[in-house]
Amino acid sequence: MKKISVVGFGKIGQAIVANMLKQGIHVVAVDINPQLHQLFSEGKYDTNEPGLKAVLSESFAQGALEVTSDFSRVSDSAAVIVAIPLLVDQQKNILDEPFLNCFRALAPHFSNNVLIVIETSIPVGYGRDVVVPAIESQGKKHGLDFLLVHSPERIKSGTMLDQLLRTPKVIGGVSPEATEKALEIYQWFFDRSLIHIVDSIEAAEMVKLAGMAYRDVNIALSNQLATFANRIGVNFADLIPLINTDGEAHLLQPGIGVGGHCTPVYPYFLINNFKQAGLDFALASRSREINDEMAAYAVALASMHVNQKKALILGLSFRPNIKEDTFSTSYLLRTALEKNGFDIRLHDTEFSKEELEKKGFQGVDDVYASGAEALFLVTMHKEYASLDFARLQTAGIRVIIDGRNQLNIEEVENAGIRYLGIGR
């Protein structure tokens, strides 16, 4: 029987596990949350990620999936895939003791060159220079007891299972032996044509980070062009599809900011890598600043059109109709609004009023009864596509700052509301 353990049974881990279960692999899912086993045992497991619930619940009932908080259950696995987050603080400094403690706790159960795969995004050099020593501090030896590789997850909420079937899977190991073993085992649950081998674990570590830096720099460029276009009265956001028709450009849309687990965080990993190498990744550093400054820019746009300084933010989620708020732009927007003396309300279709209040916001249930003058669209939940602008105007909204350039300008302005976009 093919047995693989996955450590970290959050949404990413659950998608990884579901993909393996669909290929007939027995999976041990290890997580420090003991309630997960109870949820599955009582048939109460649920998720908003399409496709996961049916696969995981059925597999658990049939015995193909084991959910446990016992680290010793990874013993005798062909591979141990680690998908726990590498935490960062609000300043994006790495808080890696929980991450490394996980490997230290797993280490006693490593033997016979078991394959260890880090799917979590990590800085370049981190696997070889930090994780290997952490495991070896527990009396284990790379090349004897374990083999370490990195294969960065590159999926996002909403279509995870589909992305796993079409996104190239990159693998790079501490040694050629580690890479070869990973290639053999990953073919159990990925088509060989999807697997791409790179020549070191450092090369694999750089793949995800470089992609996130590219995205952040691209958005920063669009944001700077958008602020210039706003100044001179050019609709830049709507020009982007035309700009991109030359086959060379691939500009992303400007916006009120960048949120999420990845793009606001991983460029800092590379920025620190550059510093360690005696280099300055000034482009990424400035791009991070530009994108984080867009919240204050949006507030400045609105300030000249209000009298009472009352604001309604639409959206806490960093992605439409996904209940996740990690480094959401709404937190930056709240800070900028508070600095400018605004009274703030927030509405989100995925979070209850009580949940919003626990996160430090004054939540509202009704977008038409907030008492606000300025409305900031941060997240384009599908429900916001049918906003009644006439009703908003009657309720006191004087200006809408469309932070995602998604609303119909004509409809907003016909309702008697001032429309302000990011580059529109």
Domain CATH number, residue 192: 3.40.50.720
Residue 175's CB: how many other CB atoms inside 10 A?
16
Distance CA 179, CA 184 (A): 9
Residues 239, 117 within the same domain? no
Residue 215 in any domain: the answer is no
Element (H, E) at 298: helix 282-303
Beta pairing, strands 94-95 & 87-88: antiparallel
In terms of residue numbers, what domain contains 371?
235-421
Sign of CA dihedral 400, 412, 407, 223: negative
Give the integer Cα–Cα distance in Å for 179 and 153: 16
Q: Please report which confidence band the pLDDT of residue 73 belongs to, taking 50, 70 and 90 as the band edges.
A: very high
Helix H or strand E encompassing 208:
helix 201-232
Is 171 a domain residue?
Answer: yes
**404 and 306 both lie in a single domain:** yes
Q: Is residue 221 part of a domain?
A: no
Assign 347 to helix, strand or coil.
strand
The one-letter amino acid code at 109 reads H
Within a domain: 274: yes
In a domain, 63, yes or no: yes
Whether residues 197 and 64 fall in one domain: yes
Q: List pLDDT tens digits, range 308-348.
A: 899 999 999 999 999 999 999 999 999 999 999 999 999 99
- Of 152, 184, 201, the one marking the end of a domain is 201
Structure confidence by residue, pLDDT tens digits, 86-142: 988 877 788 999 999 999 999 999 999 999 999 999 999 999 999 999 999 999 999
**Same domain flag for 112 and 258:** no
pTM metric for this prediction: 0.93
Answer whether 121's CB lies under 8 Å from 153's CB: yes
- Report how far residue 291's alpha carbon sits from residue 287's, in angstroms, rounded to the nearest whole number: 6
| Same domain, residue pair 8 and 117 | yes
Asked whether residue 274 falls in the same domain as residue 377, the answer is yes
Same domain, 337 and 395: yes
pLDDT average, residue stretch 264-269: 95
Q: Give the Cβ contact number of residue 145 at 10 Å.
A: 20
Residues 153 and 245 in one domain: no
What's the token pair of residue 205?
A: 């570590």
239 falls within a domain = yes
Q: Considering the domain boundaries, does residue 222 fall inside one?
A: no
243/78 Cα distance (integer angstroms) = 49
Asked if residue 180 and residue 304 are part of one domain, the reply reads no
Distance between CA atoms of 337 and 415, rounded to whole angstroms?
25
- Rounding to the nearest 10 degrees, give the CA dihedral for residues 43, 47, 49, 54: 10
Does one domain contain both 168 and 247?
Answer: no
147 and 280 both lie in a single domain: no
What's the pLDDT at 34? 86
Residue 286 CA to residue 283 CA, distance in Å, equals 5
For residue 1, is pLDDT > 80?
A: no
Give the max Cα distance, the chain: 72
Structure tokens at 264: 């606001």
- State the pairing for strand pair 79-82/3-7: parallel
Same domain, 292 and 181: no
pLDDT value at position 226?
A: 97
Listed range (61-70, 85-94, 242-251, 359-368) with the worst mean pLDDT: 85-94
Tell me which of 144-153, 171-180, 259-268, 273-282 is least confident: 259-268
Interval 169-175 mean pLDDT: 98
Position 207 in a domain = no
Number of structural domains found in the chain: 2
Choosing from 201, 219, 247, the residue where a domain stops is 201
Q: What's the whole-number mean pLDDT along residues 358-374?
A: 96
Which residue carries 């696995």 as its tokens? 77
The pLDDT, as a whole number, for residue 16 is 97
Question: Which residue, 177, 201, 225, sits at the end of a domain?
Answer: 201
Cβ 117 vs Cβ 86: under 8 Å: no
